[in-house]
Amino acid sequence: VQSRAGPVMATNLVQLDAEGRVLYTHSLDRIHIWDTAIMADEVRVLAVGTLTESMDRLQPTQSRAEKRLLIYNLKTREVEHHVPLLQEVRNVSLSTPVNKITHALVSYENKSPPQMWRIEMKATIRPDEFVARLVLIHSYVTKTPVEFAGQSFFGGPDEMFVCCSSKGGEMHVWDRISATLLHTLRPDDSEVVKTFACNHRAIPRFMLVSGTLDGALRVWSSPPSPSPSHQLTSHPEPQASAGPSATQKDESVDAAATVGGIGAV
């Protein structure tokens, strides 16, 4: 919930119970929050935002405002850790924790690629007390500059892929661990892709869906394969489309450096 009195001066994080009752209102001073994600411990909130003024209440006039990625502790009611970001940050999402390690995927506007950060829990001098710390792991880049748009997602079995779309409608798929660009899915010339999402629960297949301005939905998925390694590296290919569009091209996919095929239904 944004607290507004003219320009944005503060952001309130409103904590609710299952019945919708307000438990507590947390005030984050001097920052405009763009997106949040609750960590699995239900104690910490990951947020991205823009700093509106400095601690001595000065506002930037000839430079861009500082952007931040931060972790807020709902119990201590303090910002546990924050890091500055150089680009126009907009969205954040969290991976499923594995061995008590969580990763955050941060999305930006314009030509800034999505980034993955590791959230580490560090012991303090107090017994059984831990604080979260953010460590940059990867930036997911393309072979040529791209105007990224919208939120990026973890996808595939065990969230092994990172997916993000561009303003031109392309959908990019990277290997999460190596940050290698695996696939670039391109729409038909007549299509204007406005939204897309990844399904990380489509196991053992990989699946994502794109939506266009004319109301058509295209579901992309990997075909069944007897070989797990072949299946997970197979390349998306559209097979059919759902929506008002009457005709679609049989293939609209960049086939570079891939094996096999993935289809859209």
12-27 burial, b at 16+ Cβ within 10 Å, e below that, comes to ebeeeeeeeeeeeeee
Task: Please tell me the least confidently modeled range out of 105-109, 233-237, 258-262.
Answer: 258-262
What average pLDDT is seen over the chain? 78
* pLDDT tens, residue by residue, 190-205: 566 677 787 766 666 7
pLDDT of residue 187: 72
Higher local confidence (pLDDT), 3 or 234: 234
Q: Judge whether residue 130 has pLDDT over 70.
A: yes
pLDDT of residue 239: 47
Burial of residue 178 (CB within 10 Å: 0-12, 13-18, 19+) is: exposed
pLDDT of residue 167: 81
Round to whole Å and give the CA distance between 112 and 208.
22
Q: Judge whether residue 47 has pLDDT over 90.
A: yes
Higher local confidence (pLDDT), 103 or 17: 103
Name the percent of the chain lying above pLDDT 90: 33
Q: What DSSP line would sit under 151-170, residue for residue? A: EEEEESGGG-EEEEEETTS-
Upstream peptide bond of 204 is cis (omega within 30 degrees of 0): yes
What is the chain's alpha carbon radius of gyration, rounded to the nearest angstrom?
Answer: 21
* pLDDT tens, residue by residue, 210-257: 787 777 788 887 776 655 444 445 555 554 444 444 333 333 333 333
At 31, the pLDDT band (50, 70, 90 cuts) reads: confident
Q: Which of 13, 51, 50, 43 is nearest to 132 (CA)?
A: 43
Q: Which of 65, 31, 35 is nearest to 48 (CA)?
A: 35
Q: Three-class SS of residue 216?
A: coil
What contacts 64, CB < 8 A, 6 or more positions away?
none
